Amino acid sequence: KTEQDQSLVSREAQWKVEVDRGVMNTDGIIVGKVYHDINRDGIQQKQDGELGVAGVRLYMENGNFVVTDPEGKYNFYGISAKTHVLKVDRTTIPNATELVTQSNRNTGDAGSRFVDLKYGELHRA
């Protein structure tokens, strides 16, 4: 209504909005790094020669896999929120390399890890 108490009529408009996954995505991302932990403290220290290991293949429980880059980094994108298992393909690690656990979240094998991924989370494994 206007100040003079008259009704106004406007044209009706419609618009169709389609929201894609974008920021509303509930899938998560798992990232990590495979490196030589010379002093076994669980922290990579490049200045002490603890370099990443390239070419290591890691599998998920569904058979999907990634291969570490030249810095030993890897990532799995578009992963559903639930508990997943990551497993290192031991045939892709350098000879005489010993895998060590960094937590108790594994299958009893240092080459595995449980990942509890939440909705939309970026999880470091």
Domains of the chain, residue spans: 32-124
Please report the pLDDT score of residue 13 as a whole number: 79
Task: Summarize the confidence of residues 83-110 as an average pLDDT.
Answer: 90
- Mean pLDDT estimate for the chain: 88
Amino acid identity for residue 65 in this structure: F
Contact, 86 vs 56, CB < 8 A? no
Q: Tell me which of 3.40.50.2000, 2.60.40.10, 3.40.50.2020, 3.40.50.720 is the CATH number of domain 32-124.
A: 2.60.40.10
Give pTM, 2 decimals. Answer: 0.76
Q: 12-47, pLDDT tens digit by residue?
A: 778 887 767 666 778 999 999 999 988 888 888 888
Other Cβ atoms less than 10 A from the Cβ of 3: the count is: 5
Query: Would you place residue 48 in the very low, low, confident or very high pLDDT band (cuts 50, 70, 90)?
Result: confident
